[in-house]
A and B are shown apart, each in its own frame.
Chain A
Amino acid sequence: MAKVLEGPGMDLFAKWGIAVPQHAVVTSLEQFDHLAGTNDWLKKSKLVVKAHEAIGSRMKQGLVKIDLDTAGARAATKEMLGRTIGTMVVSQVIVSEMVPHSAEYYVSVKSTREGAEVFLASVGGIEIESQWDKVKKLSVPVGEKPSASDLEKLAKDADFKGDLAGKTAEVAGRLFDCFDNEDGQYIEINPVGLTSDGRLVALDAVTLLDGDARFRHPDWNFSFAAEFGRTYSDDERYIQEVDSKVKGSVKLIQIPGGDTALLPAGGGASVFYADAVIARGGKIANYAEYSGDPPDWAVEALTDKVCSLPGIKNIIVGGAIANFTNVKATFTGIISAFRKAKADGRLKGVRIWVRRGGPYEKEGLEAMRALQQEGFDIHVYDRHTPLTDIVDMALRKN
């Protein structure tokens, strides 16, 4: 899932023929002033200013201001830019034209296993949740497009009357085209506003795209918003950077307050290790994984960051029996980082638990076991010890 913020989302709608309000993404007051000097709508229309960040409940946090004139919009921009919400800093706002409208509707397209579903309702805005029974659905198999008559029937089912049914069907069709051609996962317009001159305008955008499809969309000039509701830490970003450079993968997410560090192999086993710690009443200090036979230096970089997690008591170097990841080579990276961390005094009182199998398991496990001679508090097990037993051992002795 890759979330796209409102500005680029609106631009995608416009690309596929859906009317959107005038809007601009602004990162500084200078930019605001420059735009206000060259764009008529910023002077003539009523304006809305919103923090252009992936922050939930913006309305409650005062990050949405409506019905503003140019000066009011400037003041709102000044007030929002640089505000800190949790770990996020507001670095962009979106200024848009406030479109007067007499009715609000709802339209969305959602990915399903068989293809997609188009949702349409003659209600919209915040009321939609409570009136979900008014939302009508049309399923479209993958590789096909909904016909104009299907869409018009959907609009009529959703209680659109007269030529409005044709117009909403058209907007739904264009939103489907946007979804289908832009590798959408979930795209929603809520609300669609009906203007006094009878036009339908997208007044908000929720756009989730398939990040894996980026290779075929050279015009995606936006970056995806963090999905976490927080920004990535320096260490997390560093590991993402390493990850982007190597064959295989390394991943790190820090979880403040935990005391059990995870350094497991493989995307499947790593979640079971996290489960095992929590089932034992422990608290994980991070999520990590390395998989697909990454080079030893990438595993070393990941290990180094794991050793730097504050307040950890145990490190779980777990892993299933690998298919093709070279246990000896990846362990070489882990061992180098362990040595460095120990020399820096980062592993004082930290116990290390190892369990692994796969190509060159004997050599890898022997090298780990040899760390005992260097004064590490390390406990090494092979395939004959079940996967998550090292977690039980680590937490039992606490």
Chain B
Amino acid sequence: MSIVANKDTRLVIMGGPAGVNAARRMAEFCHLMSMPFYVKAFVFPPDAGKNAEIPVGNKILSIPIYRKMAEVSENHPDVNTCLVYIGADRALAAATDALNAPGIKVLSMITEGVPERDSKLLRRLAIEKGKVFNGPSSIGIVSAGQCRLGVVGGSYDNLVLSKLYRPGSMGVITKSGGLLNEIIWMCSQFADGITTAIGIGGDAYPGADFVTFLDMFEKDPDTKAVVLVGEMGGNAEEMAADWLAAKPRRIKVVGVVAGFCQEALPKGMKFGHAGAKEGQKGEGSARHKSDRLRSAGATVPETFGGLGPSIQKVYNDLRAAGKIKPIAEADHEKLPRLPKTIEESIKTGEVMVPPFVKSTICDDRGDEPCYAGYPASELINKGYDIPHVVGLLWLKRLLAPHEAEIIRRIVMLSADHGPCVSGALTTIIGASAGIPLAQAVASGMSMIGPRFGGAVTDAGRYFQMGVERGMPVPEFLAYMKKNVGPVPGIGHRVKSLRNPDKRVKELVGYVKSLGIPTPVLDYALEIEKTTTAKKDTLILNVDGAMGAILVDLGFPIDALNGFFILARTIGLIGHWIDQRRQDARLIRLPAYLANYATEPKRAVPEMEGAPEKLVGAKS
């Protein structure tokens, strides 16, 4: 058996993320016990109406979140216990609400820093209503094999190691939450484990105290002995001693009190929990409390180090007296294990997950992204530039200085070409219609194709074909005429031999000045000589020049349009910002700019086999 928390406990948690986290720990306990999850509801007004998702084993349960306790009482009449994880400024209101709910029998509060007046008011209310109010500052309550209220018990491994999956014979009551696990562990090592363990918190005026729970343990036949861990300050330990001495008790009591160090400290210096505020050697001191407990009949070791052997001695005596039967030890290997997350399993090498994507250019798993293995910050610090990043992410190699310079020039020359071209105009129309940056720029981008900016790839492709096949220029032109049509990268709407495209001149001039081998560019210039002889607008245009040069640099053919896209993105973003800055009006084509070559207006004939409904609706 157990006290306060058991198999019939049904819980509401008041609180937000901390409460949800505690619920997850309680779900781990349920998984260990293969028992249904007993947290039925949360009360947390900011999230009211939502659900908290709690993994229980390998399933996810949705637990409703309410605004008020009354809603919990209405929807979950079986809820009988409340845990309070609300901040100190709202804890009084929340706990009052819960204690007033008829179904609630036990309330435990983890909140720290609750004003003393509030604790006292809650204690009074609980006493008037015949309910248990435990805390504030309570780490929680756990009954082995039955119920866990709060994060007490710690990690899943610790639940198993401390044998919390089955009841033993020892009760535990501590002020310190941090020590509760330690004592549970000691009871599992020096005795046969616990029935129920309770943290009452170290506040000056806790709702429940040692005596509250000693009384309950005395009535629980499975609890044979109780371990108390006290602290200097207050008189809870003295009251426990009085309880023990008042009449013969069935349960044995082992006690230890922290705070002997006070005797050796400079006067006035105190530390520990809020309740630890009494004198040095008199009432409230660790020595006074220990002496009182000892003379009342408790087993009280001289120091904490003697606690384990004391527990063992009390346990052995009870065994010898036949009051405790040995418990067959469970095989820990056979207990349910906590399902691991994929991440944990991958870490320990237990599973192999086929990758969903594969990346060979960029790894972001460290402190910063690495481009083809090179950390971005190191590239910056060593003077590399945007063209090198393009080289690393597109070609997976560090570009030579002249290559980087060519790319830099290409981007600079193609960044924008005014508002009238398809891409820019589309972006401008988008901006004037009020659509966001990404969508407006993407609209402009979607214009890039065979007639606008998209000729770089094809120009590179065919020029390279001509070079690779060793086709003389006339043969190439004949091939193109027969199989493709106009030669991509050749010809311009306005530019001509007499009115050359300055961008092309600049780019070609620079590349030729480098003295590097440029077979594809040379071939394209040969083609230009022939085509301009026929018609002087059939010049090598900027797409053609870029395509030829980039093929010479070794960029993959399919990526060549990327340079235009990259460069023109700068311009399109600029156009969007420009329109926004001007608060440009919506662009609507005036009707006089449209040629309405439609049928004249006429009557719509009746539809054959129209559904009756539609025919009826008409009349």
Contact = CB atoms under 8 A, between A and B. Distances in A.
A269 B176 contact: yes
Interface residues of B, number: 63
B114 interface: yes
A167 to B, nearest CB: 28
B178 A284 contact: no
Contact of B258 (A113, A272, A389): A272
A357 B120 CA distance: 35
Contacts of A142: 117, 120-121, 123-124
B116 interface: yes
B158 interface: yes
Given A229-B267, A388-B303, A277 B176 contact: no
Given A267-B176, A275-B258, A324 B269 contact: no
Contacts of B303: 275-276, 279, 388
Nearest to A251: B271
Contact of A279 (B25, B155, B231, B260): B260
Contact of B272 (A215, A230, A267, A322): A267
A274 B261 contact: yes
Contacts of A291: 178
A268 B265 contact: no
Contacts of A269: 176, 178-179, 182
B452 interface: no
Interface string B143-180: 00000000111110010011000000000001111111
**Most chain A CB neighbours (cut-off 10 Å) among B114, B276, B304:** B304
Contact of B177 (A113, A228, A268, A270): A268
Nearest to B152: A323
Given A212-B88, A275-B286, A278-B264, A322 B121 contact: no
B355 interface: no
A388 B304 contact: yes
A266 interface: yes
Contacts of A40: none
A1 B305 CA distance: 31
Contacts of B205: 111, 113
B120 A113 contact: yes
A275 B174 CA distance: 17
Interface in B176-225: 176-182, 185-186, 202, 205
Nearest to B174: A268
Contact of B269 (A228, A278, A359, A392): A228
B179 A320 contact: yes
A111 B155 CA distance: 39
Contacts of B162: 321
Given A268-B202, A275-B259, A392-B305, A323 B273 contact: no
Contacts of B232: 271
Contacts of A265: 178
A127 B182 CA distance: 50
Contacts of A33: none
A314 to B, nearest CB: 16
A183 interface: yes
Contacts of B271: 251, 253, 270-271, 287
**Secondary structure at chain A's binding surface: helix, strand, loop or mixed?**
mixed
B60 to A, nearest CB: 21
Contacts of B155: 358-360
B258 A268 contact: yes
A366 interface: no
B16 interface: no
A287 B264 CA distance: 13
A324 B17 CA distance: 14
A387 B182 contact: yes
A287 B121 CA distance: 33
A115 B116 contact: no
Nearest to B161: A383
A88 to B, nearest CB: 12
A266 B178 contact: yes
A210 interface: yes
A126 interface: no
B600 to A, nearest CB: 76
B154 A322 contact: yes
Contacts of B89: 215-216
B229 interface: yes
Given A279-B302, A279-B303, A388-B305, A320 B261 contact: no
A219 interface: no
Given A275-B304, A383-B185, A324 B174 contact: no
A186 B450 CA distance: 88
B408 interface: no
A212 B116 contact: yes
B202 A267 contact: yes
Contacts of A278: 260-261, 263-264
B64 interface: no
A212 B116 CA distance: 8
B231 A271 contact: yes
Contacts of B175: 268
B115 interface: yes
Given A215-B89, A275-B259, A383-B185, A266 B305 contact: no
Given A279-B302, A386-B308, A358 B116 contact: no
Given A212-B114, A213-B116, 11 more contacts: A111-B205, A142-B124, A213-B115, A267-B272, A268-B202, A268-B229, A270-B271, A271-B258, A323-B152, A357-B158, A391-B305
Interface of B: 21, 25, 88-89, 113-117, 120-121, 123-124, 139, 151-155, 158, 161-162, 174-182, 185-186, 202, 205, 229, 231-232, 258-261, 263-274, 276-277, 286, 302-305, 307-308
Interface of A: 1, 111, 113-115, 141-143, 180, 183, 185, 210, 212-213, 215-216, 227-230, 251, 253, 255, 265-272, 274-279, 283-284, 287, 291, 319-324, 357-360, 383, 386-389, 391-392
26 contacts: A113-B205, A141-B124, A142-B120, A142-B124, A143-B124, A183-B117, A210-B115, A212-B113, A215-B88, A216-B89, A227-B268, A228-B268, A229-B267, A267-B178, A269-B178, A271-B258, A279-B302, A320-B178, A323-B152, A323-B178, A323-B181, A324-B21, A324-B151, A324-B154, A386-B305, A389-B305
Q: A-B pairs with the 9 shortest C-beta distances?
A: A268-B176, A266-B178, A320-B182, A213-B115, A274-B261, A271-B258, A142-B120, A321-B181, A268-B179
